[in-house]
Amino acid sequence: MKKMLMAAGLLLVSALASANSNCDKPKDDFDGLYCLNKVYLQADKDLNEVYGKLVKQLDADGKAALKKGQLAWISNRNSECSYKDAKGFYVNLDCATRTTTERVQFLTERSRECSSAGCMNSKLK
């Protein structure tokens, strides 16, 4: 549910701020948010690509371990980078981008291990 709300919020922010594409010098906080959103969306795209590549390299046990680790990571990212209160749902895009980029690096390293030394399911946390 949180993921859907976050995605809807990100799409709304993107649509509202799409008039400004100069992220080198955002004019105000909304332009800055639009630019952060663009960076987050790219990190999320990278995450999905490397996850898909890694899944193809794993056996059934590895796929199960990766899925379990990914669900735990999503839960942790959401609890660290977002919250909900009476006024609404909030996402810290800098936190979400940073944690997503770190996860991309982690999954890329696991994929590299699979290609060179063999997949180590114990590392798929």
Residue 80 lies in a domain: yes
Domain count, the chain: 1
Residue 44 lies in a domain: yes
Residue 75 lies in a domain: yes
- Give residue 19's pLDDT: 47
Residue 48 lies in a domain: yes
Residue of 84, 80, 87, 98 lying closest to 39 (CA atoms): 98
Mean local confidence (pLDDT), 91-115: 97
Residue 19 lies in a domain: no
Q: What is the CATH number of the domain that holds 103?
A: 1.20.1270
- Give the list of residues 6+ apart from residue 120 with CB closer than 8 angstroms, or none: 110, 113
- Give residue 57's pLDDT: 97
* pLDDT of residue 1 exceeding 70: no
Mean local confidence (pLDDT), 37-53: 97
Give the residue numbers spanning the domain of 91.
Answer: 38-123
The pTM of the full predicted model, rounded to 2 decimals, is: 0.78
